[in-house]
């Protein structure tokens, strides 16, 4: 901003490849020789009624961010992978009770994390069970779950969902190559299969998704875009 970059708060809807490329938005069209896609990811949801309504009112995605709100309270973590187990371990340090609800009959996280979970007296693992409903008035106060034999309700003060991320690349699938999970393929300069179209951050296919690597991608993509423009 200090360098007088022009910022438009609008939504990109489509890229049409060309020379220059055309970006169609909800407020007109823009043309550019180089484009950097840095759309990131969003948290995967269960797709249940009222789920989005409870986000911020009982449903969270980050124990580091929101765990303190549930000190001395009961929470449920949905998922069974590394992220879910790490969330549960962190929450167990301050919460009275932590439920881990996993739809599979086993946890998929690393054994070391599972061992830590097993040693925690205030963590209860519920396997082979799916969440069917979120309940509460203005704030979440219970979840309805179902296994192979019964459906029942668990009283909770909060839920932490950890069932994966969805890259925000779908609208660009006709101009850049995506892997089977929807992440963008690129080379070491963050260049995609389309000349002049670069990707940076969590939407890119890579092994580590952290702020440090996203910032690195941004610098690499920006310099590469400048070089491409010449």
Q: Would you give the DSSP letter of residue 70?
A: G
Does the active-site annotation cover 66? yes
> φ, ψ for residue 51 (rounded to 5)?
-60, -50
Q: What is the C-alpha to C-alpha distance for residues 102 and 79, in angstroms, rounded to an integer?
A: 5
Among 4, 26, 49, 65, the active-site one is 65
Q: What is the C-alpha to C-alpha distance for residues 174 and 17, in angstroms, rounded to an integer?
A: 9
Among 27, 62, 179, 195, the active-site one is 62
Cβ-based neighbour number of residue 151 at 10 Å: 12
Token duo for residue 170: 């779908």
Q: What is the C-alpha to C-alpha distance for residues 111 and 91, in angstroms, rounded to an integer?
A: 19
DSSP string covering 107-166, please? --S-HHHHHHHHH-TTEEEE-S-EEEEEEESSSEEEEEEE-SS-EEEEE-SEEEE-S-EE
Element (H, E) at 28: strand 28-32
Does the active-site annotation cover 226? no
Q: What is the C-alpha to C-alpha distance for residues 144 and 163, in angstroms, rounded to an integer?
A: 17
Does the active-site annotation cover 65? yes
- Active site (catalytic) residues: 62, 65-66
């Amino acid at each position: 901003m200090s360098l007088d970059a022009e910022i438009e708060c609008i939504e990109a809807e489509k890229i049409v490849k060309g020379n220059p490329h055309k970006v169609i938005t909800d407020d007109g069209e823009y043309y550019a020789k180089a484009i950097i896609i840095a759309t990131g990811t969003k948290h995967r949801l269960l797709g249940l009624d009222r789920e989005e309504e409870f986000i911020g009112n009982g449903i969270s995605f980050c124990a580091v961010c929101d765990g303190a709100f549930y000190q001395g309270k009961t929470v449920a973590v949905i998922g069974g992978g590394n992220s879910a187990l790490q969330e549960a371990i962190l929450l167990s340090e301050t919460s009275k009770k932590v439920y881990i609800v996993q739809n599979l009959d086993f946890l998929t996280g690393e054994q070391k994390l599972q061992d830590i979970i097993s040693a925690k007296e205030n963590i209860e693992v519920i396997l082979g069970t799916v969440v069917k409903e979120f309940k509460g008035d203005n704030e979440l106060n219970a979840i309805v779950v179902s296994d192979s034999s019964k459906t029942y309700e668990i009283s909770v003060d909060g839920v932490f969902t950890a069932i994966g991320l969805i890259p925000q690349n779908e609208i660009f699938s006709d101009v850049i190559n995506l892997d089977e999970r929807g992440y963008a393929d690129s080379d070491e300069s963050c260049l995609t299969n389309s000349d002049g179209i670069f990707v940076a951050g969590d939407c890119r296919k890579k092994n580590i998704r952290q702020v440090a690597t996203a910032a690195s991608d941004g610098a690499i993509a920006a310099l590469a875009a400048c070089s491409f423009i010449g």
